[in-house]
Amino acid sequence: MAKYINPYTDFGFKKLFGEEANKDLLIDFLNQLLPSHHQIADLNFRNSESLSESSEERKAIFDIHCRSSSGERFIVEMQKAKIKYFKDRSLFYITFPIRDQAQKGEWDFKLEPIYFVAILDFEYDEAEERRKFRRDVALKDQDGDLFFDRLHFKFLQMPLFNKKANELVSKFDKWCYFLKNLESFDKIPAILNEPIFQKAFDTAALASLSAEQRDMYEQSLIHYRDLKNVIDTAVEEAVEGNKAEIAKTMLREDEPLEKVVKYTGLSLNQVQQLRRELDKSG
């Protein structure tokens, strides 16, 4: 039985990073991603639901929306499943803290820095991005020089983080290791035995939840697992469908059954069934 919450659930993520009592956890995590000139000393949570200015426009609901004491604005998203147009959605989201800075009357259009941080429990489709656990994106010109220093995107593809405890080098590594493996820990690993992570583990302990919180977490966990099962099933069916199409092509070319089995990974019975289906269809 798990001892700690799953941080990829809505409840788990907001319990760790979205509560006033635990904002030091969020500050510490974000500071590992930020340059020295944008380090956070303190922050305030803002309404996570941003309404558009007109009824025709869509509203955005963020996991966490906050502002540092020095003015930087942050949207932090835990994305559990692959969705279409995620980059487009990310761009859409940052338009809200941009417009939120608009001032009535005389205004010189100066903007405070905005960061969009996405922790992804999936990999992108693009082959280039599949090789990158972390992507730091900013506006640059044709020579790769930074054009605008106040708009940044941070994407973390958590499935690509595979470091073991003895391979952790930085505080950032430790946070990623914590998030990736939290639900499987039965105690605090020695590498994470320091005050900020001790608090994170205490916050994530299932035993510390009230009966009402435990029920909310269980519902959130069920939703997370159901979503993952649907996605995994769809991927598996898609893979099997591709294998079947490859096998049919090979069978039409009169390749030996043993070769079809070897190159598709299908069982001999599956290949024989496909052979019969092709024979019936002529």
Q: Is 239 exposed, middle or buried (0-12, 13-18, 19+ CB in 10 A)?
A: exposed
Closest listed residue to residue 185, CA positions, set 167, 198, 173, 169: 198
For the chain, report the end-to-end CA distance as a whole number of angstroms: 55
Say what the alpha-carbon torsion angle 117, 16, 175, 132 is, to the nearest 10 degrees.
Answer: -30
Q: Give the percent of the chain with pLDDT over 90.
A: 52
pTM of the model: 0.78
What does residue 141 show for φ and ψ, rounded to 5 degrees? -90, -170
pLDDT tens for the chain, residues 1 to 282: 789 999 999 999 999 999 999 999 999 999 999 999 899 999 999 876 654 454 444 455 568 999 999 889 999 998 887 777 888 889 998 998 898 888 878 888 899 999 999 999 888 766 776 678 999 999 999 999 999 999 999 999 999 999 999 999 999 999 999 999 999 999 999 999 999 999 999 999 999 999 999 999 999 999 888 877 776 776 677 777 888 888 888 888 888 888 888 878 888 898 899 888 888 886
52 burial (CB, 10 Å; 0-12 / 13-18 / 19+) is middle
Give domain limits for the chain. 10-208, 211-282
Nearest to 25 by CA among 127, 178, 168, 137: 178
